[in-house]
Amino acid sequence: MNFIKYIIFPGLFLCLISIQSFASNTDSDAVERLAQGIITNQIWRLQYNESAKRIYQNQAENLIKNGLSTIEITDKEKQIIPQIVEIYQAIPENILRDPQFIAQIKQILLESLSSQEIEMLSQRDTTSSQELYTKLANIDTEIFIESNAAIHKAINDPQFIQQYRNKIGEIIQQLHHLDENK
C-alpha cells in the first residue's frame, strides 16, 4: 500500500500536472496567435489602407508647410514626405504591439470566447461556423474601439509623442540646412 501511496500517486499527479500545463500552453499559444492576427489586422487598418495613407500624406504636407512657413511645397520638400509618413505609420504599430495592449486584447478574447472557439479561430486549416465568425467580428469591433482609445491616449501623452515629434523635426530641419547651403 505504501508503494502505491508514495510512488504511483505522485507519478500520476505529475502526469496530470504536465497534461494540464500542456493544455494551458496550447490554449495560451492559440490566444497568442489569435491576438497577433487581430492586432496585425488593426495595424493594417490604421497604417496601410488608402484612407490612412492619404491622411498621413496630408499631415506630412501640412507639417512641412507650417514648419517652413510656406504655402507651396517644392519638389525637394515633397521628397521627405514619405519619411514623415513612415513615422506616422510607426505610431499605431508601436502602440498596438505594446505588451500591455496585447495583454488587454488577450483578456478580451478569453472573456469573449471559449477555449475551443479560440483554438478553432487560431487554426488556419479549419473552417469556422458563420456564428463564430459573427462573434469574432463583434470582438474585432470591440478591439478596434480599444485600439483607437489606446492610440488616442498615447498621442495625447506628451512624453510618448515627443519622440516622434523629434524625428519629424529632424527631417524638417534637414530642409532648412539644405536651403541655407544654397
- What are 61-82's pLDDT values in tens digits? 887 777 667 777 778 888 888 8
What pLDDT, on the 0 to 100 scale, is given for residue 125?
63
Rounded Cα gap, residues 127 and 11, in angstroms: 39
Three-state DSSP state, 103: helix
| Number of neighbours of residue 96 by Cβ within 10 angstroms | 23
Q: Which amino acid is at 66?
A: N
DSSP-assigned letter for residue 125: S
Better-predicted residue by pLDDT, 47 or 163: 163
For 107-134, what is each residue's pLDDT tens digit? 999 999 888 888 888 776 666 678 888 8
Rounded Cα gap, residues 7 and 102, in angstroms: 42
- C-beta of residue 81 within 8 angstroms of C-beta of residue 40: no
**Mean pLDDT value across the chain:** 77
Describe the chain by its helix, strand, coil percentages, rounded to 5.
85, 0, 15
Question: The cell 505588451 sits on which residue?
Answer: 99
